[in-house]
Amino acid sequence: CSKRVFKKTSGNGQLTLYLGKRDYVDHVDSVDPVEGVLKIDPADLGDRKVWIQLACAFRYGREDLDVIGLSFRKDIWIQHIQLYSDAGHKPTLTEMHDTLLKKAGEQGHAFTFNVPINLPCSVTLQPGPDDKGKACGVDFEVKAYLAKSADDPDEKIDKKDTCRLVIRKIQFAPDNTGSGQKAELCKSFMMSDKPVFLEASLDKEIYYHGDPIPVTIKIKNETNKVVKKIKVTVDQTTDVVLYSADKYTKNVLCEEFGETVEGNATFDKTLPITPLLTNNKEKRGLALDGRLKDEDTNLASTTIIRSGMDKEMLGILVSYKIKVNLMVSGGGLLGGLTASDVTVELPLTLMHPKPKGKKTPSFFIIISMASF
């Protein structure tokens, strides 16, 4: 069994950053600490110090546009640690530290960042085919750099004096989940004294990415009209709360079922649906779980908001809803002209399951990161 070690070296060769993982789990009441090691060559530092920082930022524009004086990156949270010269940062060494220190050698310096529980999870907004540069969204970045002070805006830091790795903060579905949602509607029509009853329900509260979602649909048609078609859709709503009141909805699934329900008849059936990113690759602005470089990802997980949380700190809120729509048409010559819809909506929670226990790796593979 092996485990990867992620490594990034600065352009000047003086700094090498080591991390044992790039996914850090939000457990609701705590977040995995970011434990790493920085190898430092102290030669030719002059009066500069060596800093390591962890930043959570919201990016909402192309980086190359910063040259015109507009900032397209807003830091939500940032923490700096001085690693050289020694300023007293002495983290409790863990097994992860010990492994990374062996890789770094005598010039390795261990560090730990404790991540607050009120920060957002990593979210990427899917770029369009012509978009270049880093995608918009919420990201986390570990950065090592040489500077006289941690964050003096007047001090220019040369790119060759930095190295950085993007990491992800992710959330898994809780162990205990509630029962599924149910929605009902009774709709009457012109020229009919009887209604159509529609009920849609889910069998559990949370579904996992990629798994089929069984939607149970019950129809009681007491009219003389015919239910010609059942359409099930899933919409993703993205609420960008950090810098404006942007809120937009994108359809991620639309399926039509050729089920008919004649007048004075009933219907009771479970129809499976599976919303997937693979069917939505061309939709610009769709919210995805944070992406590292060009790795595959999936539709963004539903944002879980703890009581008392500041929504603005979350940057981007993601939610889903399922719509069940009946196309009901009248009989006779005017059937097409008297058609109408019956629709109900159900909230949907999409998340990842907690991974099952992993074995301790027997050796590590070092991966040098070319540009991230």
A 10 A CB-CB count for 187 gives: 16
Query: What residue ranges define each of the domains in the chain, with the CATH number in brackets?
Result: 6-171 (2.60.40.840), 182-351 (2.60.40.640)
According to DSSP, the residues that pair with 368 across neighbouring strands are 7
Q: Decide: 83 and 54 in contact? Cβ < 8 Å.
A: no
SS3 state at 266: strand
Q: Give me the phi and psi of 295, to 5 degrees please.
A: -65, 155
Q: What pLDDT, on a 0 to 100 scale, did the predictor assign at position 336?
A: 47
Q: What pLDDT, on a 0 to 100 scale, did the predictor assign at position 11?
A: 95
What is the 8-class DSSP label of residue 302?
Answer: P
According to DSSP, the residues that pair with 112 across neighbouring strands are 35
User: pTM of the prediction?
Assistant: 0.83
Q: What pLDDT, on a 0 to 100 scale, did the predictor assign at position 333?
A: 47
Alpha helices for the chain (secondary structure H): 95-104, 311-314
Q: What pLDDT, on a 0 to 100 scale, did the predictor assign at position 363?
A: 46
Identify the segments of the chain with pLDDT beneath 50.
1, 64-69, 333-338, 358-364, 371-372
Measured CA to CA, the distance from residue 63 to residue 14 in angstroms comes to 26
- AA identity, residue 66: D
Strand order in the sheet with 34-40: 108-113, 34-40, 15-19, 2-9, 363-368
Q: What pLDDT, on a 0 to 100 scale, did the predictor assign at position 207?
A: 95
- AA identity, residue 273: I
Q: Which two tokens stand for residue 22?
A: 């790039």
Measured CA to CA, the distance from residue 313 to residue 303 in angstroms comes to 12
Q: What pLDDT, on a 0 to 100 scale, did the predictor assign at position 339?
A: 59
